[in-house]
Amino acid sequence: MKLKRGLIQVYTGNGKGKTTAAWGQAMRASGQGLKVGIIQFFKGKGSGEAKTAKKLNLDVYFFCPVHPYFGGKRKKLEKECREGLIFAKKIIQSKKYDLIILDEINIAMKDELIEVNEVLDLIKNKPKEVELILTGRGAPKKIIESAGLVTEMKEVKHPYQKGIKGRRGIEY
């Protein structure tokens, strides 16, 4: 199956549910016969979703596995994010995938590890039938303007507020 018209979806905001919404979308798309590729920034291979992806028809690619928040040298982060972006362009243009998720790419732009204009270029030049999803807090205004679907995940309540730490299987 092919999409007639692929849109740009953006999930941003401070609340929980951005990455899970993207992966849930991958699960939905895969179930309907779409081919899904996921480019994962700032996360390692140990997440529950990455483990499940192995059992499904989902290709996951990892770039820049250390989140800027946890340190990592800036030059190295920039280089790895750039490699991710170049790879993203390549697979978007290849038309191998109907849906491509750029998980946490908004963070890379917010933290100025990649330039907003480069991502805008990637969006503008995508093949018509490819759907793109960009996630991560702090999506730049220009990205929001270029998207067809934008949801802000707004934190109403979060257990971090009560000091509960990230739990395996729930937060990662």
Which lies closer to its own copies via its Cβ, residue 71 or residue 163?
163
Give Cβ neighbours of residue 155 (< 8 Å, ≥ 6 apart).
Answer: 13, 14, 15, 16
What are the residues facing 10 on neighbouring strands? Answer: 134, 150
Rg (CA), the chain: 15
- Please give the single-letter amino acid code of residue 9: Q
We find the least distance from the C-beta atom of residue 1 to its own copies, in angstroms, to be 7
We find the least distance from the C-beta atom of residue 109 to its own copies, in angstroms, to be 17
We find the least distance from the C-beta atom of residue 46 to its own copies, in angstroms, to be 9
- Binding region for its own copies (CB under 8 A): 1, 3-5, 7, 9-11, 13, 15-34, 47-53, 55-56, 98-99, 131, 144, 147-159, 162, 164, 167-170, 172
We find the least distance from the C-beta atom of residue 139 to its own copies, in angstroms, to be 9
Which lies closer to its own copies via its Cβ, residue 12 or residue 81?
12
d(CA 43, CA 32): 27
Say how many C-beta atoms besides its own lie within 10 A of residue 111's C-beta: 18
